[in-house]
Amino acid sequence: MTKVIDFYADWCGPCKVMKPIFAELKEEYEGKVEFESIDVEENGSMASKYQVMSIPTFVILKDEKEVARRLGAMPKEAFKSWIEENK
């Protein structure tokens, strides 16, 4: 199954902008795409594993392998299109 990971921090402005968009898409894709949010402050080992250098960073995995990555905030439709291209 495809998984979308959101690497964020609570103090990050663009991360706060993306939070409701991420939640909406999680609902829309329920049962089709898995969504996971990872706080880089609390889970630095995961951030290191995926070599996250800035936030927000979004990673799409297929069969546990990274197939796509985007940095920064984006409109919902752009985010959805990116997921569609890579799921």
The set of catalytic residues is 12, 15
SS3 content of the chain, % helix, strand, coil (to 5): 40, 30, 30
Q: Are strands 65-71 and 57-62 parallel, antiparallel or unpaired?
A: antiparallel
Q: For residue 42, what is the DSSP state?
A: T
